[in-house]
Amino acid sequence: MSWQFKLTASVRASPLRALTTRPNNGLLLRPTALGAAGSFSAWSGSTMTQTITYAKRTLSTTQPRKSLNLDNINQNVRAAKYAVRGELAVKAEAYRQRLTEGDSSLPFDSVIFANIGNPQQLDQKPITFFRQVLSLLENPILFENPEVLKTSFGYKQDVIDRAKVLLGNVQSVGAYSHSQGAPGIRDSVAKFIEERDGFPANPQDLFLTGGASAGVSTLLNVICNDSNAGVLVPIPQYPLYTATLALLNAHCVPYYLEEQKAWGTNVDAIKQSIAEAKAKNINVRSIAVINPGNPTGASLSPDDIKAVLDIAAEETLVVIADEVYQTNVFTGEFVSFKKRLRQLQQEQPGKYDDVELVSLHSTSKGMVGECGHRGGYFELVGFDPLVQEQIYKLVSIGLCPPVVAQCLLETMVNPPREGEPSHELYQQEYNGIRDGLHKRALALYNAFQRMEGVECQEPQGAMYLFPTINLPSKAVEAAQAEGRAADEFYCLALLDATGVCVVPGSGFGQKENTLHFRTTFLAPGTDWVERIVKFHSEFMEKYRS
Amino acid sequence: MSWQFKLTASVRASPLRALTTRPNNGLLLRPTALGAAGSFSAWSGSTMTQTITYAKRTLSTTQPRKSLNLDNINQNVRAAKYAVRGELAVKAEAYRQRLTEGDSSLPFDSVIFANIGNPQQLDQKPITFFRQVLSLLENPILFENPEVLKTSFGYKQDVIDRAKVLLGNVQSVGAYSHSQGAPGIRDSVAKFIEERDGFPANPQDLFLTGGASAGVSTLLNVICNDSNAGVLVPIPQYPLYTATLALLNAHCVPYYLEEQKAWGTNVDAIKQSIAEAKAKNINVRSIAVINPGNPTGASLSPDDIKAVLDIAAEETLVVIADEVYQTNVFTGEFVSFKKRLRQLQQEQPGKYDDVELVSLHSTSKGMVGECGHRGGYFELVGFDPLVQEQIYKLVSIGLCPPVVAQCLLETMVNPPREGEPSHELYQQEYNGIRDGLHKRALALYNAFQRMEGVECQEPQGAMYLFPTINLPSKAVEAAQAEGRAADEFYCLALLDATGVCVVPGSGFGQKENTLHFRTTFLAPGTDWVERIVKFHSEFMEKYRS
C-alpha cells in the first residue's frame, strides 16, 4: 500500500550549520505515520542521516483543490522537530492501547513511558496540601462545612485558610486574571525568590505562565527579531529550544556540553560557537542554559554560572536560565542565576549591571510533578521597561495563564511551614518523592554500569539519565539499511521488545559519532530496568561482529 | 518629568492597506504607561491618528549596553495591537485598586469592567455540576466518602460517576495528556458535535486547546506561510486576529460587516476585499468568521453561512469559524459552519468537497463562562492528513492543554441529561444565566435608544453591544488636541467620570468616519447603565457647538 525511496546524505559539513534549524537549509522531513501523529527526522551532530519515506497518502500534497498542503503551509512549522512526542511516543501509546484491549500477543505486559517527565502518569501521588486547596477553589461551597471537611476528609485549618486567601486573590478560578498572573500570587512568588536567593524580587517583573514552555516561547518570540538572530543552545538540549527557534526562522547556535565533566558547561566551547556564528553573520542575542540539565541531569556549580554570566556581560547576551529542575538536585545545592548575578553585581560594580536575565520555573517538575495543570512563571531581571511592556502586550493577546495553575504555583512556592497543621504530611510526602527519585536514579545508573558499551555520568539532578551507547558496527549498518539513526533504531528495538519507551539522543542533539538515549527515572519498581538490561545484552549479542 | 511631541497623520489612503498589520508599513506605537502595562495605539478605518508620547524612560531605548531595546526586539511583536487589555483596562484596574485601598476621592464607588467578556469577575456563579466534578478530580480522596459528599455538600451520584469516568480518561489532572487532548474527552466532544449538527465527527480531527485563542494562534501559524499570506478578517473584529497576523508578519485583509443589516456578512464586500488584495499580490489563504459576532453580537443566517462557504469553495480558502458564542444566541437558532457545509456537500456533490474548515469552541463563553480555566477545542474538516500531522507536531511542542480544562470541556459538552440527578439544578442555573444575559442586553439596548446620537442594533447574541456614537465636532477636536481617536477620548472620559470601562471601536476596527464602543452586558444590576446615560448626556452638553 505504500512505496518508499531512501536517501542517506551528509547534509552539512559544519556542526553549526547542521543545527541551524531554518527552513531553507535543505533539511527534509519524513512523513511516515498514517495515524494522527507523524514522525519527524532527528539530527545527529554535524552529519544528518535522512530518510524520505513516502506513504501513498503523501501524494495528497499535490491535491490542487486544497488551500493547504505540506508544501505551502508555513515551512517553519514543517522544519521544527520535536522528538519527545514523535514516532516512538505514538508507537508506545498504540502498544498501551492494545494491552488495554486485551491483546496478549506482545512480548511485554505493560508499557513504561520513560520518554517524558510525566510523574503522575507513572503513579506519583500528588502532594495532598496542593490538591486539597485546589478542590476548595473549584467548589467553594465546600467552605460552608469546614468541620466535615476536617473530620471526614482530613483537611486541616491551614488548607481552608489558604484557599480563602487565594480565592480573595483571584475572585474565581473561572475568571480571567491579570495577564501577568494574579497580583497576590505574584507577591508570593516574589517572596519565594527573595527567600531562595537572599535578594529582592519585584512582582512587576514576574510573569506567570502556562508551564515553562509557554514562557520560553514568549521570550524567544521577543528576542528573535529577524532571520539573522541566533540563540546559543546547549547540546544536548530539551528540543523545545530548537523547535521554537525553527518556528521563528531564527538560528540555533549550538554549544556542546562536556560529557566527561558531568555534562558541565565549557566556556571555550561557548566562545568558539559565538565566534563561528559571528563569522556567518549570525547576530547572537541570547544564551539558553538548562540548569539542572535536561536531558543530561547535570547541576551547574557557582563557577560555571559565573562563566556564563561573564560571557553574557561581555557579549551583551540575554541569559535564559531554564531552572525548572531547581529542586531536583541530588548533589550540592542549587544556585540560581539570579542569585549569582546579584552576588557578582555586588562584588564587581559595573561589569554586570546591564545583564538581562530571565529565570523560568514550573509546577510540572520538582516534587510537585503537576504537569497537567500547566503552571509556571518567569522573572525578568535587568530588562528595559519598554521591552517589558511589549512582553506584557504579547502575553495579553493570550489573555491569561490557567488560574487553577496560578493557585497551584502559589502553594508550591509557599508550602505549609513548620508548626502549621499540614506541614508534617507535606514534608513526609515531599521527602518520600525526593528519596524515591534518587533511589530509582541510582538503580538505573547501577544497571547502566553493568551494561556492555554503556557509559553514564553519575546522577546529579533533574529527572533524567542520558547514557552513551556504543553499538556494534553491524547494528549501525542495520539502522542505516532502514534509513534510521542508530540510536533511534536501538530505541525502537527496545520498545518493540520490552515496552520501555525512551528517546534517542538524536532528538536532543549529540556530538558527531556518539549515540545516547534519554530515560526518566520516574517509573516505579525495578522490573523495567531489568527489561532494559536483558534487551541490551541480547541486542549486543545479535549484532556482534 | 516628560516631554512630548505630537503628530497627526493620515498614514494610508486605502482602508485595505491601513489595516495591513505589517511592521514595515510605517505604523508607530505609542508607549505611554510607566507601569507594567503599556498602551498601544488603535486604528480607525483608513486614517490613523497617531501620537507619540515619549516619557523620559523612552530614552532607555538607546541604552547601548542592553541586548534588547524597543528598536531591536521582534518588530512584529511591537506592531501587534491588542486594545482589550490596553491603556483603558490598566487605568480601570488602577481605579479599582484605589477604591479597594479606601480612596474616596473618585467620583464613583465601583469600577465596572464592561471591557472584557469575563462573567465570573462580574459575579456570575459557576454551574454547580461542573465545579463539583472538578473538585473531585483535584482531590480524589473525596471519593472515599460519597455519602458525606451527598449529605453535607449536595453532590449527586452522577457527579461522582462522571468524575470517576474522567479520572479514568486522564489518570490524574496532574499528568500530561495526549497533545491533542485526552482521547476519551475527544470522544465526548465528537458526540456533542454529532448531536448538534446531525453529521458525524471524528475524535482524530479534534484538538483540545487552552482556550480558543490558543487554537486561533496555532491555525494562523500554520496557514501564514510567508509575508504575502493574507487572511480575511471581519471588521469590526476581535483583535486577536489582527494581533496574531501582525506577530506572523502576514496581511490582515479586512472585510466590512454591514452595521445597518444587523452587522451581517456582505458577500460583495468580501469579494471586493479579495480582489483588492490580489491586486496587491497578497495571497489570500483563509477567511475568519466570528459567529455569533464579537464585538457586534450578530448571528449569521444559514444563507449568510452558505455565502461564505461559496466564496471559500471558489477561492480555495480555509474557513476559520470562530463559534465560541454558539450558545449565546437570543434570536433564531445557531447553525454551525460544519453543519451547513455538510448539508451543502449532500445537496451539491462536488462543489464543496474540498472545503477546509476549522470550527473553534471554548469553555469561556456561553452559560459556562469559565474563562480562567482556559479550555476549548477546534475541529478540522477536510484537511490534508499530512497538514494535520504538522498541526499535531506544532501543538505537541506546547505539550498539552490544561487537563482540568479538558475535563471541564467534557462536562460542558456532556451536561447532565433529563432524568439524571443533577439535571434539574443544572437546567435551572443554565436558564437563569441565559435569561439574565438577555435581560441585561435589552436593558442596555433600551438605554442606548434613549441616548442622543447613539445608534445600536438589536441584541442578537454573544456578550456584547457595539453602538455607534455620533459625537459633536468639538469633542472630536478636543480628542485630536490630545492626539487621541475620538472614541478613545470618549471612553477615557466615561471611565474617569463613572468607573465604567468599555473598549473604543477603534480597538476592533470600524468604517472610516464612524465611532463606536464595545460593552459587555455581563455586569449585574442597572446602576452602571444609568451611569453611562448620565455621563453621555453631560458629555454631549459639554461639547455641543
Angle (CA) A406-A410-A415 rounded to 5° is 150
Looking at residue A64, its pLDDT comes to 58
Which among A66, A316, A373 has CB closest to B402? A373
Which of B382, B413, B444 corresponds to the end of one domain? B413
Which among A65, A175, A221 has CB closest to B372? A175
A233 and A101 belong to one structural domain: no
Q: Which residue of B has its CA nearest to A87?
A: B393
Which among B116, B136, B170 has CB closest to A176? B116
Give the number of domains in chain A.
3
B164 and B180 belong to one structural domain: no
Looking at residue A346, its pLDDT comes to 96
Whether B177 contacts B170, CB under 8 Å: yes
B191 and B280 belong to one structural domain: yes
- Residue A130 inside a domain? The answer is no
Q: Tell me which chain A residues have a C-beta less than 8 angstroms from the C-beta of B60.
A: 384-386
Q: Which residue of A has its CA nearest to B314?
A: A65
C-alpha cell at B177: 495528556
- Residue B30 inside a domain? The answer is no
Most confident of A423-437, B288-302, B321-335: A423-437
B362 and B220 belong to one structural domain: yes
- A135 contacts B142? CB cut-off 8 A: yes
* Mean pLDDT value across residues A129-142: 97
Q: Is the pLDDT of residue B31 over 90?
A: no
- B77 contacts A390? CB cut-off 8 A: yes
* Mean pLDDT value across residues A4-20: 31
- Residue B188 inside a domain? The answer is yes
Global confidence as pTM: 0.88
Q: Is the pLDDT of residue B381 over 70?
A: yes
- A210 contacts B402? CB cut-off 8 A: yes
Which among B67, B374, B393 has CB closest to A317? B67
B247 and B372 belong to one structural domain: yes
Report d(CA A536, CA A543) in Å as an integer: 11
Looking at residue B333, its pLDDT comes to 87
A246 and A334 belong to one structural domain: yes
Instruction: Give the pLDDT confidence of B115-167 residue by residue, as tens digits.
Output: 988 889 888 899 999 999 999 999 999 999 999 999 999 999 999 999 999 99
Q: Is the pLDDT of residue A175 over 50?
A: yes
Which among B38, B356, B372 has CB closest to A392? B38
Residues of chain B above pLDDT 70, percent: 88
Report d(CA A252, CA A273) in Å as an integer: 11
The domain that holds A474 is classified in CATH as 3.90.1150.10
The better pLDDT of the pair B410, B21 is held by B410
Most confident of A6-20, A475-489, B321-335: A475-489
- Residue A457 inside a domain? The answer is yes
Containing structural domain, residue A262: 176-413
- Residue B381 inside a domain? The answer is yes
- B285 contacts A174? CB cut-off 8 A: no
A36 and A183 belong to one structural domain: no
Report d(CA B56, CA A106) in Å as an integer: 70
Residues of chain B above pLDDT 90, percent: 71
SS3 content of chain A, % helix, strand, coil (to 5): 45, 15, 40
Which among B35, B121, B176 has CB closest to A171? B121
CA neighbor of B142 nearest in space, from A409, A131, A404: A131
Report d(CA B115, CA B464) in Å as an integer: 9
Looking at residue B218, its pLDDT comes to 96
Residues of chain A above pLDDT 70, percent: 88
Q: Tell me which chain B residues have a C-beta less than 8 angstroms from the C-beta of A63.
A: 354, 384
Report d(CA A1, CA A325) in Å as an integer: 46
Average pLDDT over chain A reads 86
Query: What are the residues whose beta carbons fall under 8 Å from the beta carbon of A7, sequence distance 6 or more?
Result: A50, A51, A52, A483
- Residue A141 inside a domain? The answer is no
Instruction: Give the pLDDT confidence of B267-309 residue by residue, as tens digits.
Output: 999 999 999 999 999 999 999 999 988 888 888 889 999 999 9
A379 and A513 belong to one structural domain: no
Q: Is the pLDDT of residue B321 over 80?
A: yes
Q: Look at A25-29, A349-353, A388-392, A411-415 and tell me which has the smallest mean pLDDT.
A: A25-29
* Mean pLDDT value across residues A160-165: 97
* Mean pLDDT value across residues A521-525: 87
Q: Is the pLDDT of residue A51 over 80?
A: no
Q: Tell me which chain B residues have a C-beta less than 8 angstroms from the C-beta of A134.
A: 138-139
Report d(CA B538, CA B111) in Å as an integer: 19
B378 and B438 belong to one structural domain: no
Q: Is the pLDDT of residue B51 over 70?
A: no
Q: Which residue of A has its CA nearest to B23?
A: A225
Q: Look at A179-188, A433-442, B206-215, B278-287 and tell me which has the smallest mean pLDDT.
A: A433-442
Q: How far is B87 from chain A (nearest CA, A)?
A: 11
- Residue A170 inside a domain? The answer is no
- A37 contacts B372? CB cut-off 8 A: no
Q: Is the pLDDT of residue A8 over 50?
A: no
- B399 contacts A213? CB cut-off 8 A: yes
* Mean pLDDT value across residues A335-342: 97
Q: Tell me which chain A residues have a C-beta less than 8 angstroms from the C-beta of B385.
A: 34, 57, 60
Which of B352, B381, B413 corresponds to the end of one domain? B413
Report d(CA B496, CA B519) in Å as an integer: 16
Looking at residue A452, its pLDDT comes to 94
Looking at residue B60, its pLDDT comes to 40
Average pLDDT over chain B reads 86
Report d(CA A378, CA A432) in Å as an integer: 28
A477 and A501 belong to one structural domain: yes
Which among A132, A174, A384 has CB closest to B69? A384
Q: Tell me which chain A residues have a C-beta less than 8 angstroms from the C-beta of B317.
A: 67
Report d(CA B221, CA B218) in Å as an integer: 5
* Mean pLDDT value across residues B83-112: 89
Looking at residue A37, its pLDDT comes to 30
Handedness of CA A508, A509, A511, A514 (dihedral sign): positive
- A318 contacts B210? CB cut-off 8 A: no
Q: Tell me which chain B residues have a C-beta less than 8 angstroms from the C-beta of A398.
A: 211, 213-214, 217
Q: Tell me which chain A residues have a C-beta less than 8 angstroms from the C-beta of B230.
A: none
- Residue A506 inside a domain? The answer is yes
| Count of pairs with CB atoms under 8 A, one residue in A, one in B | 354
Distance of CA A342 to the CA centre of its chain: 26
For residue A162, name the pLDDT band (cuts at 50, 70, 90): very high
Looking at residue A54, its pLDDT comes to 27
The domain that holds A358 is classified in CATH as 3.40.640.10
B162 and B193 belong to one structural domain: no
A309 and A358 belong to one structural domain: yes
Instruction: Give the HSE-up count for residue A386: Cα atoms under 13 Å, Cβ half-sphere.
Output: 25
- A31 contacts B396? CB cut-off 8 A: no
Q: Is the pLDDT of residue A161 over 90?
A: yes
Q: Is the pLDDT of residue B25 over 70?
A: no
